[in-house]
Structure 1
Amino acid sequence: MQEPLLGAEGLDYDTFPEKPPPSPGERARVGALQNKRVFLATFAAVLGNFSFGYALVYTSPVIPALEHSSDPDLHLTKTQASWFGSVFTLGAAAGGLSAMVLNDLLGRKLSIMFSAIPSAAGYALMAGAHGLWMLLLGRTLTGFAGGLTAACIPVYVSEIAPAGVRGALGATPQLMAVFGSLSLYALGLLLPWRWLAVAGEGPVLVMVLLLSFMPNSPRFLLSRGRDEEALQALTWLRPADADVHWEFEQIQDNVRRQSSRVSWAEARDPHMYRPVLIALLMRFLQQLTGITPILVYLQSIFDSTAVLLPPKDDAAIVGAVRLLSVLIAAFTMDLAGRKVLLFVSATIMFAANLTLGLYVQFGPRPLTPNSTVSLETLSLAGTATSYLTLVPLLATMFFIMGYAMGWGPITWLLMSEILPLRARGVASGLCVLVSWLTAFVLTKSFLLVVKAFSLQVPFFFFAAICLVSLVFTGCCVPETKGRSLEQIESFFSSRRRSFLH
């Protein structure tokens, strides 16, 4: 047996070299080549997440603008604004449902490319909108594209990535989604809302162009009996001078053992339903922490609280903090492990949501709706009050930081890691469906709950869910750091908890 496939990145496979270890220069050269190939394919795929993140928060600057629009056909009431903000999640749920079929029918790569059609059409409708129906339809189509990519991209990335860097690469979908959101916030300071939709078309076109040159997932190709093409894809994704046959045979053996579809009888087997149930509950809890309504209505939330800076500036600052936090998670996920980051993430989100709820309950009020505290008011209220108005910004920054460090990227990564290969396409689509149906209920009801009970009620609810997430992580979530997908699947089959610890 020759040297480990990932010798440049550490002992990720239990193999032993028969020849002396490569020199540092050779290791660097092999690692660089491998990273170039895998990173290029990953970047091409996660451009879909960039568009998803961009589209998700599109309403943040647009809703306030349309609520004050002089055009009666585009002027939004509170009810219409709640639909405009939430209909994206219905589209995403439909996209996740479609992924249950397309993920295995077309394959991961072609499914991602297919998402460009509804995405481009949705942006075009919103850019040229002259009525509410065009805004809602465009928002729904971009949501459909986002739900489809949300189910397909993590699976594609996990199946092409080596075990030693799968954590870092697994964080890139969330990283690009965050970067897309930040880009929207930044452009929202410069462009009118129609041109924000036009700008969203660019990443979609680049994604399709780059993906057309990338290989499909070797595991998917093997599941379709295209062995020669699968070997070529794996060879392209690994160092040119590496022996990929051992890894190929390992994947091939696993695919052959799971070549048939899952029957209802097998679905009742713990090794099949346990990982699916864990992934579903993680997606459910992820949404219940409040991330989607907070992102969708971020500027509106700042509008309705006493804040020191203009709400548009606050939203852009929060987007930058979110990007930095995901970068931290990407670099630490394969070092600290998944569970540690999940614990830290839930704890920070709990503290932030509780702080926001207490601030809204007991803190200062803005002078008028949809306005910030003026300098004259601050001078009269005193220095203490002016510093206090930083609390909503700081608490939101910490909430986004906590989410982006753990429950944001790791939930997507674990979904793609622990789902059984035979059910991966269907189960990933089901996870996205559950996630976005939950997001729709929260996003649609958020403004209505705020109107009926005040803003602090949803934040207290989100804080309680973060405590539940802590318990769930400790009791149910396995540690998958440094394990191959085949090892993770073997863990659920053998039910040996010590295997992953």
Structure 2
Amino acid sequence: MVFFSTFVAVCGSFEFGSCVGYSSPAQFGIMADLKESYAEYSLFGSILTIGAIIGAITSGRIADWVARKGAMRIASVICIVGWLTISVSSAAPLLDFGRFLAGCGIGVMSYVVPVYIAEITPKNLRAALATVNQLFIVTGALFAYVIGALMSWRILALTGIVPCLVMLVGLFFIPESPRWLAKVGQMKEFEASLQSLRGLNVDISQEAAEIKDYTNFLQQISGDAIMNLFQRKYIHSLIVGVGLIVFQRFGGVYVFLFYAGTIFESAGFSSRIGSITAAIVQIITTTLGAVLVDVSGRRLMLLISTVGACLGCIITALAFVFEVHLRRFIEISGMLVLIGVVVYLGFLQLGVGGIPWIIMSEIFPINIKGSAGSLTILVSWIGSWIVSYTFNSLFDWSSIGTFFLYGAICGLGVLFIWKLVPETKGRTLEEIQASMMNGRRY
């Protein structure tokens, strides 16, 4: 049941990847059919992040009010309406509105999916199954790249509905998060859900008692108001959760994902070959990360991944050194940019692409998880918008300097992880959260 429930949840992750990956293969078809300029299409591409910011602001509250399954249902319906709107659009305003709706849907998905997975899985499987979230995001993007090369942008939009339909059907057959049920006092349903997830013949008494005791403890000390996040006992969790997302976003992740084609073409390499190669490498390294994260631990994987992302930025910057200043070696530029982008995205998906979401779902106690999750996702999407919006200006200023800047931010991220991020491998959610509240025990 844990594996099946995870599969249903990560259909939302596949949807996320499809939305992010859609704009690249659909670009020239939409521009030709709707007579859009590059500026108009840039609005279409970027308005996804605006919708995701709106979804992020509401995601934690929605997941607390209507439960984790209810939030996934709402997000799926919003995405379906968005894709249908895109597929029938005959003008830019309707097209942009559909993209905005899809962004709202994935903004909610980006919070509720990793939280649901973390709350249903036993500690020995939690990281591996949570990493499947990132694997399905990458697979969804690759699906959009490949299918988009074979069919029109309208048909490609309709394919985005499929994972939402699978999720909507699957949600009828999986249990609600037992920790959410305990939080709202539905103890009979809580025990039934936990028993379903652990197996009918498994003794759940110890785990159930620990969850109940910790939930009662949290409800006594504070509620889920936004200002409660800034109490001293939660500051460490907040710094770690938000800080990891800040370094992930401003380290260039959405530059390499959104503008890979531009980066390849600018250095004289085929964007189609480069993008598909990078997507395949991401799937391989994400799968490898899922295998290793519960063996090596979150912290070590984050450090290795961030160091590798820094190296990828430096190699990409060196590619443009050859392209700008050493043009007699111009053929080296194309090969270096391929290596740089593949190294960056490969190491990114090994750890820092997905593990921050695992840690975010682990470190926030359930009494502040809604507000803390909303804040973290909001920072994530605002960062995505800032980085994607400023890239072209930075790239025009200095292609070399742009990637050295992202590399420097990744380097600072290594220091942040080394100093502040705890190891959460092999510990229950209750143990992790209690230890981060200034060492308090419940």
TM-score of the superposition, structure 1-length normalised? 0.83
The 5 Å alignment of 1:448-459 reads 448-450=393-395, 452-459=396-403
Paired residue type of 2:182: L
Task: Give the conservation status (yes or no) of the 8 Å contact 1:91–1:144.
Answer: yes
Tell me how far apart the structure 2 counterparts of residues 52 and 268 of structure 1 sit (CA, whole Å).
30
Task: Give the conservation status (yes or no) of the 8 Å contact 1:60–1:295.
Answer: no
Q: Which residue of 2 aligns with 1:49?
A: 13
Paired residue type of 2:91: G
Unmatched tracts of structure 1, length 5 or more: 1-36, 368-380
**CA displacement 1:298-356 (0-9 Å, x = unmatched):** 2233233201xx32232111111111111011000011111111111111111111111
Deviates more, 1:256-265 or 1:333-342: 256-265
Task: Give the conservation status (yes or no) of the 8 Å contact 1:351–1:463.
Answer: yes
Q: Which residue of 1 aligns with 2:350?
A: 405
Tell me how far apart the structure 1 counterparts of residues 317 and 29 of structure 2 sit (CA, whole Å).
26
Tell me how far apart the structure 2 counterparts of residues 265 and 195 of structure 1 sit (CA, whole Å).
45
Tell me: CA distance 1:135–1:293, structure 2 relative to 1, closer, same or farther (3 Å).
farther
Tell me: CA distance 1:304–1:192, structure 2 relative to 1, closer, same or farther (3 Å).
farther
Tell me: CA distance 1:352–1:263, structure 2 relative to 1, closer, same or farther (3 Å).
closer
Count of residues in correspondence between the two structures: 438
Task: Give the conservation status (yes or no) of the 8 Å contact 2:17–2:136.
Answer: yes
Note if 1:415 corresponds to 2:360: yes
Task: Give the conservation status (yes or no) of the 8 Å contact 2:267–2:319.
Answer: no
Tell me: CA distance 1:290–1:232, structure 2 relative to 1, closer, same or farther (3 Å).
same
Tell me how far apart the structure 2 counterparts of residues 174 and 191 of structure 1 sit (CA, whole Å).
26
Q: Which structure has the bigger radius of gyration?
A: 1
SS state of the match for residue 312, structure 2? helix
**CA displacement 1:204-233 (0-9 Å, x = unmatched):** 111111012111100100111110001000
Tell me how far apart the structure 1 counterparts of residues 421 and 291 of structure 2 sit (CA, whole Å).
21
Task: Give the conservation status (yes or no) of the 8 Å contact 1:349–1:403.
Answer: yes
Q: Which residue of 2 aligns with 1:353?
A: 313
Q: What is the CA RMSD across the aligned residues, in angstroms?
A: 2.0
Tell me how far apart the structure 2 counterparts of residues 353 and 84 of structure 1 sit (CA, whole Å).
27
SS state of the match for residue 225, structure 1? coil
Paired residue type of 2:139: F
% of aligned pairs identical? 29
Tell me how far apart the structure 1 counterparts of residues 292 and 154 of structure 2 sit (CA, whole Å).
39
Deviation of the 1:458 alpha carbon: 2.6
Task: Give the conservation status (yes or no) of the 8 Å contact 1:85–1:443.
Answer: no
Tell me how far apart the structure 1 counterparts of residues 402 and 35 of structure 2 sit (CA, whole Å).
28
Q: Which residue of 2 aligns with 1:306?
A: 268
SS state of the match for residue 267, structure 2? coil
SS state of the match for residue 261, structure 1? coil
Task: Give the conservation status (yes or no) of the 8 Å contact 1:93–1:436.
Answer: yes
Task: Give the conservation status (yes or no) of the 8 Å contact 1:123–1:200.
Answer: yes
Could you list the runs of 4 or more consecutive aligned residues of structure 1 that deviate by over 6 angstroms after TM superposition? Answer: none
Task: Give the conservation status (yes or no) of the 8 Å contact 1:218–1:234.
Answer: yes
The 5 Å alignment of 1:294-443 reads 294-307=256-269, 310-363=270-323, 386=331, 388-443=333-388
Tell me how far apart the structure 2 counterparts of residues 357 and 326 of structure 1 sit (CA, whole Å).
24
**CA displacement 1:439-480 (0-9 Å, x = unmatched):** 111112222333x41433332221111011001001110000
Deviation of the 1:162 alpha carbon: 0.2
Unmatched tracts of structure 2, length 5 or more: none
TM-score of the superposition, structure 2-length normalised? 0.94
Paired residue type of 2:41: A
Match of 2:253 among 291, 315, 320: 291
Deviation of the 1:364 alpha carbon: 6.9
The 5 Å alignment of 1:26-65 reads 37-65=1-29
Greater helix share, 1 or 2? Answer: 2
Task: Give the conservation status (yes or no) of the 8 Å contact 2:229–2:372.
Answer: no
